[in-house]
């Protein structure tokens, strides 16, 4: 069961988004290029629907194409985020695997939380 007390305390200064870490299923970063156009169209459609907060590729430490990427979604639930991610052309093609995590984006950094507000 979810800890709703923590969610309620975070809600005032945080926005619940869904962070997507999308990683290569294999070892070839160039594999993404076969469906990159469709993937970018998919992200563009999400942006037009107001669901995409940000997106972009990840490089290696040396600046090379890693084949991995990240994006964040503004949707109603984890189940909806997972359903959206399942439709990503890179995931449908088996080139990448998407991992979705709830993310509480802090909206106001002038107010810091009291550590006592969060039970262990």
Rounded to an integer, the average pLDDT of 98-102 is 97
Among residues 104, 108, 102, the alpha carbon closest in space to that of 13 is found at 108
pLDDT by residue (tens digit) across 58-75? Answer: 999 999 999 999 999 999
Higher pLDDT, 21 or 116: 21
Q: Is the pLDDT of residue 17 over 80?
A: yes
Is residue 54 domain-resident?
yes
Number of H helices, E strands in the chain: 4, 4
What mean pLDDT is predicted for residues 36-58?
A: 98
Whole-model pTM above 0.95? no
Residue at 67 is within a domain: yes
Overall number of domains in the chain: 1
19 in any annotated domain: yes
pLDDT of residue 85: 98
Q: Which domain holds residue 78?
A: 15-106
Domain-located, residue 47: yes
Question: What CATH number does the domain containing 83 carry?
Answer: 3.30.70.1060
Q: How many angstroms separate the CA atoms of 105 and 39, rounded?
A: 25
Predicted pLDDT of residue 111? 74
User: Is 111 within a domain?
Assistant: no
Judged against a pLDDT cut of 90, whether residue 6 lies above it is answered with: no
Give the span between the Cα atoms of 86 and 88, in whole angstroms: 6
Length of the chain: 120
């Amino acid at each position: 069961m979810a800890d709703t007390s923590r969610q309620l305390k975070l809600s005032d200064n945080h926005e619940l988004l869904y962070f997507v870490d999308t990683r290569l299923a294999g070892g070839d970063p160039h594999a993404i290029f076969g469906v990159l156009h469709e993937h970018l169209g998919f992200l563009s459609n999400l942006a037009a629907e107001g669901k995409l907060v940000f997106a972009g590729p990840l490089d290696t430490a040396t600046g090379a194409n890693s084949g991995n990427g990240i994006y964040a979604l503004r949707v109603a639930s984890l189940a909806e985020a997972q359903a959206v991610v399942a439709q990503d052309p890179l995931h449908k093609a088996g080139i990448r695997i998407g991992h979705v995590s709830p993310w509480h984006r802090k909206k106001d950094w002038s107010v810091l939380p009291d550590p006592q507000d969060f039970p262990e």
